[in-house]
Structure 1
Amino acid sequence: MKKILIANRGEIAVRILTTAHKMGIKTVAIYSTVDRSSPHVKLANEAVCIGEGPSNESYLLGSKIIKIAKQLHVDAIHPGYGFLSENADFAEEVEKNGIIFIGPKSNAIKIMGSKLAAKEAVKMYNIPMVPGVDEAITDIKKAKKIASEIGFPILIKASAGGGGKGMRIVEKEDDLESQMNRAISEATSAFGDGSVFIEKYVASPRHIEIQVLADSHGNIIHLFERECSIQRRHQKVVEEAPSVILTPELRSEMGEAAIKVAKSCEYLGAGTVEFLLDENNNFYFLEMNTRLQVEHPVTELITGMDLVELQIKIAKGEKLPIQQKDLSIKGHAIELRVYAEDPQNDFLPSVGTLETYILPKGKGIRVDNGFEEGMDIPIYYDPMLSKLITYGETREEALLIMQKAINDYIIKGVQTTLPFGKFVIQHDSFKEGTFDTHFVKNYYTAAIITSTNENEAKIAALIALKQYQEDQKTLRIPTL
C-alpha cells in the first residue's frame, strides 16, 4: 500500500494523514471549495477539489471520489467517520474498482447499519438486548399493543438511525401516536427510511462502548471500554477510558460480548460495539458502529495503540500484532469534543471567524485539530473544531490536566463547548462517577455558564485593578 486517499475533512483527515505519513504512505486529500485552506489540504502529498461546499456536492460524491482515486493510482481509501464511512454501497463500489476500502466489508456495514438486522444477527450469540420488538412498526394499534406488553416508558427508534434522529421517548399511551408519527417523519427525512421499532426505555442508563479490532485471519480482540454517557441531544460530548463503574469481571464480560457481535457479521477492521448499562449493571446491546469512532484517542492513550495504523495494517491483509492477553489498561484519558456551538443557547451551531485560535500544550495534553486561526466555520458540516484529550496516571490527574487545558485553549470569534466541558469536569456527579446519560438534563442550564462567565469576568477585573494599583506605586517617582 503506497498511496491512500482520505475521503474526509477536518481533524479526522489530519489524524489519518499523520499516521499514513508516519508509515511512509503517500496521501491524497479531497476538499470542497470552502475547505480550500484547511490544514488537511496542506498536509497531504496531493489534494484535489471535489466540489462545492454542501456535502452532497462534495464529500458525499462517492463515484467521483473513486474516479479521482483511480486517476491518481491510489491503492486504498480511508473514509474516516461520518460522510461515506458507513455507506455500504460506497464500500462495495470501492472494492469493485480494485481499491482497498480501509474498513469492514460492505455486507457487515449493511447488517450493522440496520438496527433490526443487527439484532437479528447477534441473536444466536445470546447477547443481552433491551426488551422490545425485532421488526419495523408502522401500525399505531400494533404499536400500542406492544408498548402495553413491554410497559411504559418506551423508546421509539429509527431502524436506520443515528445521532439521536428518529428517536422519541414516550412516557404514556396518550402520547404514543403523535411521537411515533414524528419519529417516522424525522427518520424518513434524515435517512430516507421511515422504519421504526419499539423497545423498553432504560430509565437511568450509562452509555458504554467497546472498541474491537478484527483481522482477515480470524483474530478478534477488544481494547476495553469507553464511557460516553455525557451527551446533548443524544450525541456524545465528553468521553473517557476506562469507565469508573466497570469491574474487571464486567469489563471482561462486555468485551467478550463485543467480540461475539463482531463475529456475527464477519467483521474486519476497527469497530465499536455500543451497550446500555442499567442501574443494576445489566448491559444490553445497542448497536455497532462500523468505522473509527470520534472518541478513539482515549482508547489509544490507555492502550498505547495507534488505531489508524492498525486499520491500515489489517486492510493490507496483515495479522493483528497483539493478542488479548497482551493488552492492559494504563492510566486514564478524557476527551472533550470542542464544537463551535453555543452552550448558552441550546448548543446551537455558532458561525463566525476564528479571530483567535490558540491550542493548549503540555504534558498529558493532545489536541486532534482541524482548524487554524483566521479560518471561517463552514455552515455545511458538523461544527466540531477539534478534540481535546488529556491523559494522566489516574483519573484525578487527567481531570486536573483537562481543567488546565480548557483554560489555556483560547478561542475568540465563535462560541464553543469549552465552558460546558469545564462545567462537566468540575461537577461533583462527574468527579464522583455517579452520572448517567441524563447528566445534561439533570444538572445543566445555560444560566450556569452565564453566571460562571460573569464571576470570572469580575475576578479578572479585580486582578487587573490590583495589578494597575501596584504598577502605579512602582511608577511614582518622588520629587526632590
Structure 2
Amino acid sequence: MSYLRNPYIHENRRRGGSDSAWVASFGCSDMKPLIICRGPIRIEAMNVFEEMGITDYGMLLSEKDSIIYTNALSPELRKQIHPSRVHRVRDYSGATKEERQERIDQIIQIAKGNGYDSVFAGYGFMAEEEDLVKSLEEAGLNFLGPQSRTIREAGRKDLAKRTALAVDVSVTPGVDNATILTLLGICPDEKKLIKLAADNDLQVDELDGLSLEQQAEQVLSASYARGIDLITIDEVAATLTKEIETLFKNDPEHRIRLKAVGGGGGKGQRILDAPVHFDGKKADQLKKAIAAVEPLYREVLAEVKATGVGDNKNVLAEVNIETVRHQEIQVVGNGDWCITMGGRDCSLQMNEQKLLEVSTTQEELSEAIAAAKGDSLASLETDLKILKRM
C-alpha cells in the first residue's frame, strides 16, 4: 500500500458538499494559504490541503533548502507546484530581531501581492512567534493557529508557567524569571524602574497595583517592543548562575535543564550535569557544575536566534525529571466554544524530538484495560487517570 493511499492517514477531507449545514460550514476549499515552514511538515500540509480541496496554496522556498536537498529537488517541488506559487526567500526567520521583522514584512508582501488569504507556519519557532501572528492580524491575513494574545500567554514558556502557577497548576521546580531578577538587581524599586523607562522613552502600561516583579516585566516587555536592551547577556548569565547554584545546593543529585522561552521543536535546550556527577568535595562539585551555566546559556540563545539587540533573553532553568512521560492534550476552540479531542503520548523521543506520537482517548484506554493483564494493566490504568485529569 503506498503512503498516499494509507486510509489511516489520508482521506477525502472535503466538507463543503455535506448534506449537513454544520459539517458543510467547515468546508475550506476556497482558502488560499501560504505555507512558510519547511521540511516534512510542508509536504504534509500540501497533501492535507489538497485532500481538503484547497488547490491555490503557495510556499516559501529558502536558500537553505538547497543544503538539505543537495543536487536534488525537494519533495514539495516534485509535486509540480506551479512556479508562480513558489516564492523564494533568503531564509525563513532571519538571524536577528531586525531580520525577523524584515522577513515578516516580506511574507506579508508575498501574501498580499499573490492573493493569499492565510498563512500556515507549521509547528514551533515561527508558529510560536507572537510578532509574526500579530503582524499578520494587523495586515488582515488569517493565521492558521492561535491568535497572538494566546501565543503571548501560552507560547512563551515563562509566561505559560506563571499563568499555570496563578491558577494553582503544578509545574516543574526551577527559575522562570532570570531577566526580571537581573533588571531588579539594577533597579530595585518602582521609582528607579520608572526612571529607567523614562530615560529610554519606553511606552510602559500603568504600573500602579502591580508587584515589583510585574512592574519589571512590563518595563522589559516595553524594551523588547522598542528594540533595545536594558540588560546584557553577561548580566543575565550571572543571575542564572546564582539561581542555579541555589537549586543545586538544595538538590545536588538532579540535573538542570535550560530551556528557551520561545520556539519549539526541541531546540533551545541544554542540560547541566548535577554536582554529584563531578569528582571532589561538595564545594568543588558545585563549582564545577555551575561553571557550565554561562556557556550553555549562550548556546541556547544562539540556537533560537535570541542574541540580538531587543531580543527576549530569558530562559527557564528547571529540575530535569529523568523519567518523565510527555503527554499532550488536544484542544480546539474558536473563542466561543472549546472541546478536547483526546491526548497524545509523545514520550518516545531522541534529542528532544518526537519520534512517535500515540493518540489516546478514554474510550480506547478503557477497551485496552478490559483486555490487559499483569504490569500492562496497571500502566494503562495510570494512563487513563492522567488523561481524565488532563
Q: Structure 1 length normalisation: TM-score? A: 0.47
Deviation at 1:95, TM superposition (A): 0.8
User: Alpha-carbon deviation of 1:252?
Assistant: 5.2
Q: Which position in structure 1 is the counterpart of 2:380?
A: 247
Higher relative contact order (CA 8 A, sep 6+): 1
Q: Following the alignment from structure 1 to structure 2, what is the Cα–Cα distance between the partners of residues 206 and 29?
A: 35
Matched residue, 1:209: 328
Contact kept in structure 2, 1:224 and 1:255, CA below 8 Å: no
Q: 1:183 aligns with which of 278, 296, 304?
A: 296
2:99 aligned with 1:47: no
Identity over the aligned pairs, expressed in percent? 23
CA-based RMSD: 3.2
Give the Cα separation in 2 of the matches to 1:151 and 1:47: 55
Structure with greater helix share of residues = 2
Q: Report the CA distance between 1:184 and its aligned residue.
A: 1.7
Name the CA distance, whole Å, in 2 between partners of 1:66 and 1:200.
40
- Pair 1:120–1:43, CA change in 2 (3 A): farther
Aligned to 1:404: none
Aligned mates of 1:144, 1:10 — CA distance in 2: 39
Tell whether the 8 Å contact from 1:213 to 1:221 is kept in structure 2 after alignment.
yes
Partner of 2:74: 38
Q: Tell me the distance in 1 between the aligned counterparts of 2:136 and 2:92.
A: 22
- SS of the residue corresponding to residue 61 of structure 1 reads helix
- Cα pair 1:168 1:180 within 8 Å, conserved: no
- Does residue 236 (structure 1) correspond to residue 354 (structure 2)? The answer is yes
Aligned pairs, number: 256
| SS in structure 2 at match of 1:85 | helix
Secondary structure of 2:34's aligned partner? strand
8 Å contact from structure 2 (residues 260, 316) kept in 1: yes
CA offsets 1:255-302 (integer angstroms, 9 cap, x no match):
543xxxxxxxxxxxxxxxxxxxxxxxxxxxxxxxxxxxxxxxxxxxxx
Q: Is the aligned partner of 1:3 residue 2:50?
A: no
Q: How does 1:60-75 map to 2 (within 5 A)?
A: 61-75=103-117
Which position in structure 1 is the counterpart of 2:270? Answer: 167
Residues 1:14 and 2:43 aligned together: yes
Distance in 2 between residues matched to 1:240 and 1:18, nearest whole Å: 21
By how many angstroms is 1:64 displaced? 1.0
Q: Which runs of 5+ in 2 are unaligned?
A: 1-29, 67-71, 179-235, 276-285, 307-311, 366-375
Q: 2:256 aligns with which of 145, 151, 155?
A: 155
TM-score, structure 2 normalization: 0.57
- Contact 2:118 / 2:141 at 8 angstroms: preserved in 1? yes
- The CA deviation at 1:164 is 4.8
Using the TM superposition, give the Cα deviation of residue 92 of structure 1 relative to its aligned residue in structure 2, in angstroms: 0.8
Q: Is the 8 A contact 1:154 1:171 kept in 2?
A: yes
| Alpha carbons 1:152, 1:201 under 8 Å: kept | no
CA deviation vs aligned residue, 1:142-184 (integer Å, no higher than 9, x gap): 4322332345313131342552534223311233321211222
Task: Pick closer, same or farther for the CA change 1:155–1:222 going to 2, 3 Å.
Answer: farther
1:214 to 1:199, Cα distance in 2 relative to 1, 3 A = same
Q: Which residue type is aligned with residue 15 of structure 1?
A: E
**2:300 corresponds to 1:200:** no
Of 144, 152, 158 in structure 2, the residue corresponding to residue 116 of structure 1 is 158
What's the secondary structure of 1:31's corresponding residue?
Answer: strand
Alignment pair present for 1:226 and 2:323: no
Deviation at 1:135, TM superposition (A): 2.2
Q: 1:230 to 1:22 in 2, by over 3 A?
A: closer
Q: CA deviation at 1:119?
A: 0.6
Q: Which secondary structure state, in structure 1, belongs to the residue aligned with residue 94 of structure 2?
A: helix
The AA in structure 1 aligned to 2:272 is I
